Amino acid sequence: MTQIAAEPAPEPMVEIIDLRKVYGDFEAVKGLDLRVMPGEVFGFLGPNGAGKTTSLRMITGLLKPSSGIVRICGRSMIDDPVAAKSLIGFIPDRPYIYEKLTAVEFLRFVGGLHAMERKRCARRIEELLSLFDLTRWGGSLIENFSHGMKQRLVMAAALLPGPRLLVVDEPRVGLDPQGARLIKQIFRQVCSDAGMTVFLSTHSLDTAEELCDRIAIMHHGEMVSLGTLAELRQRVGQPGSRLEEIFLQITSEEKAEEDSAMIRGITHEAEGA
């Protein structure tokens, strides 16, 4: 009987192994392990100070980890950072752009950094300006743009070279409702049509609930929960509950455990005094 060989498992788009970041005596990220697959919209949630931004900066190569491994489509961010970074588009929560350029000049500059062929770059710029409703502003100086327009321009720049991984930090900051809806449509479309992976950090739980295939919840530098929305609901025993309710329950449980441990430590010290 002829045996049919099993297809090899797809390579993860993002692979993180025991990732840590330490500042003196403070451990901001504590041994993060994570695999994100091609075509996923992956949600990365947590309260302020949870370690999300530090993790994003290490994933994108903006911050060197204290220890651990980050691979982007098999390329090591430590051993081969140029190859790994070439696969990433990054959208920060606050757009930092040289404002004395026009929108088109800025996008041409980004295309040049990625060594894009001139005709392809020009075609992509035209397409993206249209997609983000910035065509009529293409020749205008960026200093005259509103915050929302700058944010849309940054998103266009991140998508310009056709990255394999799009890392997004708070995508809806400064966007009007129409712009926020457009961004959600784009994220879902680039994953389904182009096989891109979107790694999304957000405080908007409604956005995460609507878009994300899987969700990780960080708390005090550790990943305390990971799964689909259905799996997270099962963990907290609340079928049909909203992500906001799940998030608050999980992070509250972690806080309660930390408080109990602290109280036990104080009591132990008092008894030994």
pLDDT of residue 10: 74
Question: How close are the terminal C-alpha atoms of the chain, in Å?
Answer: 75
Q: Decide the pairing of beta strands 214-219 and 41-45.
A: parallel
Shared-domain flag, residues 67 and 119: no
Q: Are residues 151 and 120 in the same domain?
A: yes
- Asked if residue 83 and residue 167 are part of one domain, the reply reads yes
Say whether both 228 and 252 belong to one domain. yes
Tokens of 254: 């972690």
Residue 4 lies in a domain: no
Closest CA to 201 of 223, 229, 170, 232: 170
- What is the DSSP code string of 77-138? TTT-HHHHHTTEEEE-SS----TTSBHHHHHHHHHHHTT--HHHHHHHHHHHHHHTT-GGGT
Vertex 122 angle, CA 116 and 124, to 5° = 80
pLDDT in tens, 1-19: 555 555 566 789 999 999 9
Distance CA 254, CA 108 (A): 47
Do 110 and 226 lie in a common domain? no
Residue 265 within any structural domain of the chain:
no
Residue ranges making up the domain that contains 154: 95-162
pLDDT band at 190 (very low <50, low <70, confident <90, very high): confident
- Report CA-CA distances (Å) from 170 to 175, 182, 246, 252: 11, 15, 20, 23
pLDDT at 203: 85
Which residues, listed in sequence order, are joined to residue 69 by a DSSP beta bridge? Answer: 17
Q: pLDDT tens-digit profile of 90-120?
A: 998 777 889 999 999 999 999 999 999 999 9
pLDDT at 261: 47
Look at the chain and report how many structural domains it folds into: 2
Q: What tokens appear for 171 in the block?
A: 């995508």
Same domain, 107 and 71: no
Measured at the alpha carbon of residue 109, what is the angle toward residues 105 and 115, in degrees to the nearest 5? Answer: 140
- CATH number for the domain spanning 236: value is 3.40.50.300
- pTM score, two decimals? 0.85
The set of residues, in sequence order, having a beta carbon less than 8 Å from that of 224 and lying 6+ positions away, is 217, 218, 250, 251, 254
